[in-house]
Each structure stands twice: as C-alpha cells, then as structure tokens.
Structure 1
C-alpha cells in the first residue's frame, strides 16, 4: 500500500550495510496493519530478519487514522482489500484515532517476547552525540519513557504510566544539566522539577546514581 516503497529484501540489505559500518540500525515496524501483517508468523519473520541483518531493535506501533487520512485509507482498502473493510470499520469507527477494538497490547507483548528470543530490544536506543552537555538528561528521559512503555504493556494504571511519561517530558525540556541540579541541590532539586516532584524524584535520583 506504500507507493514506490522498496521491497523488504532491499531494505534489509541496506540495514546489513549500515550494521557492518557500525551504525545502529533496526526496524520501525509501523504501522502494523490489522489483518494484513499482524499474524505471529509475519511478526516473527520481521524480528528474525532484523536480527539476521544486524539490526538491534524493533520499534512497533499500531495504525492510527484521523480525518482525511482515514477517508483515503478506507478508499484504498475498499479497492484492494474489500474483505477487510468490515474489520476496519469495527476497529476504527467514525471520529476514532487509535484502534478502538483491537488487541494491540497482546501484539506488543508478542513482539517483546520475539525480541527477547532473537536478542533485540523492543525500543529504539536513543542516539546521543558525543560531548552533548545534556547527555545525562537524555539518558534519563530514555529510561523514564521505556519504563512508561513497559508499564503500559504490563497493564499498570494509566495514572502511573502518565506520571512517568510527563516526568520524561519535563526532563526533556529541562534547560540545565540534571546532574548539576542534583549535585548542587540534591534530591530536593530533582523534586522541584515540574512533573517529577516527590513521587518520582527518588526514581530520577537512582537513575543518576546508576549512570556514574
């Protein structure tokens, strides 16, 4: 459905060349289309091919549709895969954005299981330029975001998931080196960061200590 896109064989051949050059690479498996590419055999094939061609991660996501995007997608679906139209109408009712009736969590957990089987990560490691003055901030953001994703997959409360997510955004927006904040103000300095506060200040403190 992706016009003029190169076939998978060429994409994985390119991935292998990047990997041989020492460049971090992996597969962005998104969107995963219901009824088209969400079967276990296909998911495992993509994960296995990624590992076989030097990839280090899989970044997966479900399909989102809105406004004119939804209209266009349904027109293509009606023309090329009419047998799936009823399924998509149920999963993506009018005015929806994310899938409303689709076991995405189950699929994401299967991808995580497959990544563990083939030695890959199910999140993309954050690239950080050597010498970046806020490298520690970015590492902490990565940990907080990964934790939020894991909590979501594990079915933890949305309140806790959003607490980690908002804390990650707050550290991302922080203009100061968070290590300097901690060295000069200690735990109270971390707790004073908006959306970190007393509840996650200790978590951030532990991440800073681990980075030493």
Structure 2
C-alpha cells in the first residue's frame, strides 16, 4: 500500500482500484480534489469596514417589491397623473360605498306554533340530581316522583293499602316503610324470556314447567307485618 509515496514509484493513470486503496490508506487521492471554481454561484465573503449580516441583505427583486398590505402602497400601481377627473370621482364613490356598513339582515321567519311557544318545561326540585344512577318513576311531565310509585306498590300488593293511600303530610313518616326493598317474582308462560338468577328457586325451578302445581298463595308477595 506504499505505492505512489516514495521515489520512482509508478502508478497507472485511471486505475480506480489503486486510487481507492490509496484514499482508504492515506485519506487522499493521488491528485488533490478540485476546489470551488469561483463562478457566479460561488459564495464569496468580501471584507470591509462595515459589517452586515447576510439575513439583512436584500436582493434587487426584494427591494423593488412593495407589500400591498402597507398603507403607503397603492393597489393600482399607477401614478395620480394618469388618473382623470371622472375616474377619481368613481374611485372616491367606491371608497365611500365600501366604507359603509351593510344593512342588518331581516329577522328570520319563525315557524313555531303557539302551543310550542307557550310551553314551559317543568321545573324539577332539588332532588332531581339525586336520582342519577337510580331507577325512578317519572310523572307525565318527565319529572321524577318523590319516592316510589305508591300506585304500583298498591296494585302489586307490595305495600299495605293504608300506607299507599296516606296523604302527603305523612310522607316523611312512611318513607322508610315504602322505600324498603321487597322482592318481586314474575311468573310467565314463557320462562325463556325471564332468566332466573337462582335455578333452584323461582317461578320455574330447574327449568321444569311446574307452574300448574304451585299453590295460589305462593303467587302473592305482600308485607305480612302491619304498623
């Protein structure tokens, strides 16, 4: 690998394999690489007494360009000497019209009916937010009822009649009795529509159709104790 380094060492011209081996071994080729030619595209640094940053230098095309967004730049790019009296009047009139505010839009037509306009949504009480995550009965106005539905408790014999038919004054006294959790068993001719949680107990134990053998008193679910 020491060819072309000593005296009287010959090297073939154009032998790229030897040139590459020389570059890998010494870091340079037999002939130095050509540097910049200094053409028009070559960047030169001219030293002088006034230092200027390259970012501040502007080309002739940038100097000739005028930003149309600037106030002192005219959009028509024409001197006033070429604009006649009539054209000046038209331009002034256009500027006046452009500076005026547009008229307000007419009110939109309302196609709501009188019933819809007069309807007031029901104002629910402070217990409305307490019903989140709970299954509650609602009134016809979609407002939650206070407590459980007493009519439902009476019809399904979950609560006693005197508890369900009490007036609203004693609602707080009867609230613990009405709110107690009483299980409800649903009997149906199609047990596949009502899956059981416990197969050994319920309306259809162990999947057998034994509803015809159950006594009638087993079908009643009511509160046995009284006040």
User: Which of the two has greater helix per residue?
Assistant: 1
User: Larger RCO: Structure 1 or Structure 2 (Cα < 8 Å, ≥ 6 residues apart)?
Assistant: 1
Greater Rg over alpha carbons, structure: 2
Q: State the TM-score, normalized to the length of structure 1.
A: 0.22
User: Which of the two has greater strand per residue?
Assistant: 1
Q: State the TM-score, normalized to the length of structure 2.
A: 0.21
